[in-house]
């Protein structure tokens, strides 16, 4: 990235003094229906020295933004809000107001993140948001302004820089890429010399460089396109007819065809997400339609049934596909039309991903005209992976050999194969690396494992590390020695207070004990299982299951069991850990004798001491309980019916 002297642009960056000030004073608008989160976020942002405005309501946010375009530098918005669709808001802000938008969500799953990127988000943060992530969000403002400024000042560099700028700061671009890109431009120039320049945005001012005239789908042009498509009906919309209706000079049928293709992809994506359709057959049908369409258009063969990928890229190749051309839309959309925006979304969002894919392409690409392709292919890669469910990808068939026969489709499937060879799932080669470039992604990637992978004890330990690092060492000790001894304290104390619940628990545990094998015990041994005394008012049944979350992660594998056997008591789902509990209690109580607890009370109670820190407290508890460890944690802890019988 060697555009020295052009690093200006954006808020407070006019001079060195201004640069020092920024990002202080950056104006952020935060939108979320969750008031709790909003308050925390606001405080955090203020601590980062930003100016913050908050609102619960998307409509208010839009109004604020429209009233004065310049009044904010950055918008942060939750994507799942009850009254207004967060993604729509996202799109509108990105394209109508040309502001960077950061998405917020409680969930970090891939589909949501991808949707966000499609809709133009600059970043995606998972709640709860940390200070470190917020300290860096100003980069999105800079980046956006940087891009705009480059386009305005140096139109010739557009094609190179739009891609490179898109990755600045986050990814290392391959060294030879600029060379490839330049070559690509020249190739396209040779191919498309006869194309006229387009109304709405020929920014090329140097005839000597023979830049290929780009077709810029400006808002007006796109609006005509949309009108034509609507007039014809989406299913009947054929590029030739669209072209006739649009009646615009200077665009060819190929331009329209490629634009139409993208538009259809966009709609399908939008519909697919809106209806949350997970049915791959729907996609397959759609792609079959396209396949038929494609045949009539180009007569090209060699398409497999899931042909959305090759057909798209093939048309893209035939047309004057040129990603940066769509970037001309940036800042031009004034009417809030959201449909042209997907184009920018494609490109600005995928310059990063596109970069990556380019890097991974093998050298024997043949003509470098295909350098343009990876971006779209990559996009399709991601679409395919996001919409495929059963691993039913493109039928590779003999695709590598198809390179010679049909360059386009062979190319595409070759690349796709490449992608799939790299990773078992096509998406992951892109998404993992693409996502690695995002801020706060470690949060995102950790989050699913923290809450969703709940069934192995190793995860229990690992996950607990996430939640309380300062206690994790102590508590890992717990889980290794047997959390039961660790929770001796509170369980006993609570028993003192609330008393009489042990028999409750023991009784309930009876239901499940006979039904589950001992092997379960081993898994759940590590789960602390003190009594249900913590929530006395609500009865033991519901609360025992919550005790299993001692280690900070929910091992709610019990709950699905609950739902499967609805006629039994709640406890049926949690009996396996309760069984550990009962045998422990058995040891403790010697046949339900609560008084026996008394001499288990620690000598020199820790409650006497003033523990200044949580750590001290935990250390004391561990130290004391290590002594008792051998007594409690032995083979007898496993379920033994006779013991139980004797105690009830």
Partner 1 sequence: MVRPMPHIFTSTGLPLWLLGWGAEFLRAEMSRLLALLFHQGVLDEQFLQLQQLQDESSPNFVYEVTSIYFSESEKLLRNLKLLLMEKELSDYRKIEIHLNQFMGSSSSIGANRVRNVCVTFRAATEENNRIGCLRALELLENEYYYLKNKLHEFFQIEQQRSLAARVRYPMQD
**78: β partners:** 104
Instruction: Tell me the DSSP string of 492-506.
Output: HHHHHHH-S-HHHHH
Cβ proximity to partner 1, 20 vs 614, nearer residue: 614
CB atoms within 10 A of CB 383: 22
CB atoms within 10 A of CB 7: 13
Cβ proximity to partner 1, 9 vs 486, nearer residue: 486
d(C-alpha 148, C-alpha 162), whole Å: 9
Q: How far is the CB of 270 from partner 1 (least distance, A)?
A: 17
Cβ proximity to partner 1, 242 vs 622, nearer residue: 622
Q: How far is the CB of 80 from partner 1 (least distance, A)?
A: 5
For residue 545, what are the contacts with CB-CB under 8 A and spacing of at least 6?
Answer: 556, 558, 559, 562, 570, 571, 573, 574
Cβ proximity to partner 1, 395 vs 614, nearer residue: 614
Best CA proximity match to 372, nearest among 323, 445, 335: 323
Cβ proximity to partner 1, 46 vs 590, nearer residue: 46
Query: Helix (H, G, I), strand (E, B), or coil: what is residue 288?
Result: helix
Cβ proximity to partner 1, 311 vs 530, nearer residue: 530
Residues that bind partner 1 (CB under 8 A): 32-37, 39-40, 43-44, 46-47, 78, 80, 82, 105-107, 127-128, 130-131, 451-452, 464, 467-471, 475, 486-487, 490, 493, 497, 534-535, 537-538, 542-543, 545-546, 549-554, 556, 559-560, 562-563, 566, 570, 573, 605, 607-608, 610-614, 617-618
Q: How far is the CB of 565 from partner 1 (least distance, A)?
A: 10
Cβ proximity to partner 1, 275 vs 334, nearer residue: 275
For residue 168, what are the contacts with CB-CB under 8 A and spacing of at least 6?
Answer: 1, 143, 146
Q: How far is the CB of 141 from partner 1 (least distance, A)?
A: 24
Cβ proximity to partner 1, 14 vs 111, nearer residue: 111
**Any idea what DSSP says for residue 80?**
B
Q: How far is the CB of 61 from partner 1 (least distance, A)?
A: 17
For residue 111, what are the contacts with CB-CB under 8 A and spacing of at least 6?
Answer: 273, 386
**Residue 33, burial from CB neighbour count under 10 angstroms (0-12, 13-18, 19+):** middle
Find out whether 483 and 523 touch, Cβ atoms under 8 Å: no
Q: How far is the CB of 606 from partner 1 (least distance, A)?
A: 9
Cβ proximity to partner 1, 141 vs 472, nearer residue: 472
Q: How far is the CB of 31 from partner 1 (least distance, A)?
A: 13
Q: How far is the CB of 490 from partner 1 (least distance, A)?
A: 6
| 14-to-2, 8, 74 alpha-carbon distances in Å | 19, 6, 18
d(C-alpha 284, C-alpha 307), whole Å: 8
Q: How far is the CB of 432 from partner 1 (least distance, A)?
A: 23
**Residue 421, burial from CB neighbour count under 10 angstroms (0-12, 13-18, 19+):** exposed
Element (DSSP H or E) covering residue 427: helix 426-436
Name the CA radius of gyration of the chain, rounded: 31
Element (DSSP H or E) covering residue 105: strand 101-105
Burial 554-583 (b: 16+ CB within 10 A, else e): bbbbbeebbeeeeeeebbbbbbbbbbbbbb
**Tokens matching residue 45:** 């942002």
What is the three-state SS of 31-46? ECCCHHHHHHHHHHHH
Best CA proximity match to 211, nearest among 235, 231, 181: 181
Q: Among all chains, which residue has been given the structure tokens 């290392």?
A: 172
Q: How far is the CB of 126 from partner 1 (least distance, A)?
A: 9
Q: How far is the CB of 350 from partner 1 (least distance, A)?
A: 27
Q: How far is the CB of 495 from partner 1 (least distance, A)?
A: 12
Q: How far is the CB of 48 from partner 1 (least distance, A)?
A: 11
Cβ proximity to partner 1, 11 vs 450, nearer residue: 450
Q: How far is the CB of 386 from partner 1 (least distance, A)?
A: 17
| 559-to-112, 188, 301 alpha-carbon distances in Å | 26, 60, 53
> In residues, how long is the chain?
648
d(C-alpha 185, C-alpha 372), whole Å: 9
Cβ proximity to partner 1, 343 vs 622, nearer residue: 622
Cβ proximity to partner 1, 423 vs 471, nearer residue: 471
**Tokens matching residue 602:** 């620690």
Cβ proximity to partner 1, 43 vs 590, nearer residue: 43
Cβ proximity to partner 1, 148 vs 442, nearer residue: 442
């Amino acid at each position: 990235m060697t555009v020295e002297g052009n690093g200006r642009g954006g808020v407070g960056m006019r001079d060195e003094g201004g640069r020092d000030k920024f990002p202080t004073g950056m104006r952020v608008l935060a939108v979320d229906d969750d008031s709790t989160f909003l308050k925390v976020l606001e405080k955090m942002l203020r601590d980062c020295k930003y100016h913050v405005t908050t609102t619960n309501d998307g409509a208010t946010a839009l109004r604020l933004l429209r009233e004065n375009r310049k009044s904010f530098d950055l918008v942060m918005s939750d994507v799942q809000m009850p009254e207004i669709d967060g993604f729509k808001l996202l799109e509108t802000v990105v394209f109508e107001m040309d502001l960077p938008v950061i998405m917020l969500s409680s969930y970090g799953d891939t589909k949501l993140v991808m949707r966000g990127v499609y809709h133009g988000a600059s970043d995606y943060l998972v709640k709860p948001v940390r200070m470190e992530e917020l300290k860096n969000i100003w980069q999105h403002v800079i980046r956006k302004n940087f891009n705009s400024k480059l386009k305005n000042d140096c139109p010739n560099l557009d094609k190179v820089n739009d891609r490179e700028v898109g990755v600045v700061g986050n990814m290392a671009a391959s060294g030879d890429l600029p060379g490839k890109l330049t070559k690509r431009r020249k190739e396209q120039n040779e191919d498309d010399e006869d194309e006229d320049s387009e109304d709405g945005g020929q920014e090329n001012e140097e005839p000597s460089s023979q830049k290929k005239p780009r077709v810029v789908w400006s808002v007006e042009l796109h609006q005509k396109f949309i009108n034509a498509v609507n007039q014809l009906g989406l299913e009947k919309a054929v590029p030739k007819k669209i072209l006739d209706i649009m009646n615009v000079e200077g665009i060819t049928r190929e331009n329209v065809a490629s634009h139409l293709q993208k538009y259809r992809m966009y709609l399908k994506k939008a519909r697919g997400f809106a209806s949350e359709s997970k049915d791959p057959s729907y996609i397959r049908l759609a792609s079959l339609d396209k396949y038929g369409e494609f045949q009539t258009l180009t007569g090209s063969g060699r398409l497999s049934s899931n042909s959305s990928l090759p057909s798209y890229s093939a048309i893209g190749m035939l047309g004057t596909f040129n990603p940066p051309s769509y970037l001309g839309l940036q800042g031009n959309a004034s009417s809030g039309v959201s449909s042209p925006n997907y184009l920018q979304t494609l490109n600005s969002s995928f310059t990063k991903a596109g970069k990556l894919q380019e890097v991974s392409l093998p050298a024997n690409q043949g003509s470098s005209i295909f350098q343009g392709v990876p971006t779209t292919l990559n996009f399709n890669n991601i679409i395919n992976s996001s919409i495929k469910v059963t691993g039913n990808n493109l039928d590779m068939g003999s695709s590598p050999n198809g390179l010679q026969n049909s360059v386009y489709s062979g190319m595409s499937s070759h690349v796709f194969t490449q992608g799939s060879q790299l990773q078992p799932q096509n998406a992951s080669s892109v998404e993992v690396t693409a996502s690695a470039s995002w801020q706060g992604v470690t949060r995102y990637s950790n989050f699913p494992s923290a809450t969703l992978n709940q069934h192995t004890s190793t995860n229990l330990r690992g996950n607990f590390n996430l939640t309380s690092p300062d206690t994790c060492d102590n508590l890992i000790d717990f889980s290794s020695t047997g959390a039961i001894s660790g929770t001796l304290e509170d369980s006993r104390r609570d028993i003192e207070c609330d008393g009489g619940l042990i028999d409750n628990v023991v009784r309930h545990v009876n239901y499940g004990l006979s039904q589950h094998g001992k092997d379960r015990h081993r898994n759940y041994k590590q789960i602390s299982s003190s009594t249900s005394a913590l929530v006395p008012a609500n009865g033991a049944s519901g609360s025992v299951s919550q005790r299993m979350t001692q280690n900070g992660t929910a091992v709610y594998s019990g709950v699905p069991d609950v739902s499967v056997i609805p006629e039994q008591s709640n406890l049926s789902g949690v009996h396996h850990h309760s069984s550990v509990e009962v045998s422990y209690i058995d040891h403790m109580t010697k046949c339900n004798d609560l008084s026996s607890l008394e001499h288990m009370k620690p000598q020199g109670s820790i409650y006497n001491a003033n523990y200044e820190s949580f750590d001290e407290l935990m250390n004391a508890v561990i130290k004391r309980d290590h002594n008792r460890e051998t007594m409690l944690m032995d083979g007898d802890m496993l379920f033994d019916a006779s013991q139980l019988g004797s105690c009830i």
